[in-house]
């Protein structure tokens, strides 16, 4: 059963563009991670300043292996030796779900 891990990023209005630019130049390493199934960056349209970083994984173990490995490299906050970039998000929370049921468009 797949698991969904959503990183909830609180992003002040004036930091939205910075965050989206950072994701636009993200490492792209997660795509090569074992058991990785899907990634989406969701921008809030109204009523909240929270972006959702949606990821889906084949198993909890696959997610944990990514968090202990490639995730660290993907969050290095800028090239080595350069001053770390100021975080665009003012807060983050991780939500965890198990996929009970799913459906896609009929072929
Ligand atoms: C303190 C908490 C975190 C913050 C502030 C944060 C912020 C960011 C930012 C700004 C990027 C864009 C690339 C960069 O600038 O490094 C990124 C990449 C990413 N983040 Fe996070 N993140 C955090 C934790 C997490 C967690 C817990 C997850 C798990 C769902 C996650 C999932 C991802 C994914 C999948 C990418 C793309 C990596 C790639 O392209 O290989 N992040 N994150």
**Ligand 1 pocket check for 43: Cβ under 6 Å:** no
Residue nearest to ligand 1 atom 27, measured at CA:
7
Residue nearest to ligand 1 atom 24, measured at CA:
7
Cβ(11)–Cβ(50) below 8 Å: yes
pTM: 0.90
pLDDT per position as a tens digit, 6-39 = 999 999 999 999 999 999 999 889 999 999 999 9
Q: What is the dihedral of CA 13, 79, 64, 51, to 10 degrees?
A: 10
Residue 75 tokens read as 């969050």
Vertex 67: Cα angle to 66 and 71 (nearest 5): 80
Domain 3-98 top-level CATH class: alpha beta
The more confident residue out of 77 and 64 is 64
3-state secondary structure at position 80: coil
């Amino acid at each position: 059963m797949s698991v969904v891990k959503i990183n909830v990023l609180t992003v002040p209005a004036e930091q939205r563009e910075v965050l989206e630019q950072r994701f636009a130049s993200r490492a792209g390493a997660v795509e090569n991670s074992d058991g990785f199934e899907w990634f989406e960056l969701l921008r809030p349209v109204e009523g909240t300043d929270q972006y959702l970083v949606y990821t889906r994984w084949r198993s909890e173990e696959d997610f944990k292996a990514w968090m202990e490995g490639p995730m660290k490299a993907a969050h290095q906050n800028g090239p080595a030796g350069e001053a770390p970039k100021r975080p665009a998000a003012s807060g983050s929370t991780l939500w965890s779900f198990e996929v009970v049921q799913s459906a896609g468009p009929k072929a």
